[in-house]
Amino acid sequence: MMEESIYNLIPREEVRPPKPARHQSQFRSTVKVETKTNKSPHKTMGPAKVQVDDPQGFLKKRSKEPQLPEKTTFKYPDDDKKKPTVPNKTDKPLMGIKSTKNFITTNAVENIMSVPKKPASNFADTKKGDTFPLDQSGLVPKYIKRKDFGEVPTYLTRRKEEVERAQEEYDAYVREHYKRGAMKKLSEDERQGILNGLKKNWEEIHHQYQGLSVVTDTAPKKARKERMEAEMKQLERDIELLEKHKVIYIA
C-alpha cells in the first residue's frame, strides 16, 4: 500500500513501455518471389480479346420473343369415326335405286338368333339413384372365383402330418416301454378316483381358508394363510392336469 506523502503531488514524466518488435513471417521472401513470378504490369488490361458483334446487328424490337410454329389446320383424332355431315339443301339424292332385301324378315331372324345381352351390374349409393359399376366397387367377393378357394393351405397340411407323425412316434415309444413293464397305464376308474380325492381335499382346505381371520396381524396367521393358498394352487394344477389328459402312464 502506497503511503501518503506530499512528494506524490509533484507531476512526473509518463514513462511508456517500449513496444515489442513487429512480427515478420519467415516465409515473407518466398511469398514475394512467388507473387511476382510469371507476372508483368498491365497484363490483364487493354481491349478484350473476344469477338465483337457487328454494329449493324443491334438488338431489334421483338427479336427476343419466342417464335411460334407455322399455323396448320387442326384435326381431331376421331375425325375418321365421325358420321358424315348433314347434306345441303341443294344436294339431290340418287333416285331409282331399289333393293330386293326383305328388312322385316331379316330383322326378325337377327333378333331370334341373337343372344340376349346381360344387364350391367350396378349399385346405387345416393338418394337420387346414381348408379356405379359393381365390379370395381369392392363389394363383389372375387376371391371365391379363385382356383384354390376353399382348399386347405399346403403349410397346414404339412403341419398336420408332422403332428401326426410325432404323435405316432410318441405312441410307439409308450407302447415299447409299456411292454417292458417300465410304465403302467392308469385306468379310468383310478384316474376318476384320484380326481375326486383332489377335489375333496381342495374343498376342505378352501373351507378352512374361508374361516381364517380377515386381519393377519401376527406372523403365524400370515404363514398359515400363505401355506393354505400354496396348497390350493398346487391342487388346482393337479386337477387341471388330470382333467386335460385322459390317458396317463405311471413310470
Interval 125-163: pLDDT, tens: 888 888 888 888 888 888 887 888 888 889 999 999 999
pLDDT digits (tens, 9 = 90+) for 173-187: 877 776 666 667 778
212 touches 221 (CB < 8 A): yes
The count of other CB atoms within 10 Å of the CB of residue 5 is 8
Q: Indicate whether 197 pLDDT > 60.
A: yes
Q: What is the pTM of this model?
A: 0.33
Q: Indicate whether 203 pLDDT > 60.
A: yes
Q: How far is CA 144 from the centre of its chain?
A: 26
- pLDDT at res. 182: 61
- pLDDT at res. 161: 94
pLDDT digits (tens, 9 = 90+) for 66-104: 888 898 988 888 888 888 888 888 888 888 888 888 999
- Percent of the chain's residues with pLDDT above 70: 92
> In angstroms, rounded to a whole number, what is the distance separating the alpha carbons of residues 6 and 194?
122
Q: How far is CA 170 from the centre of its chain?
A: 43
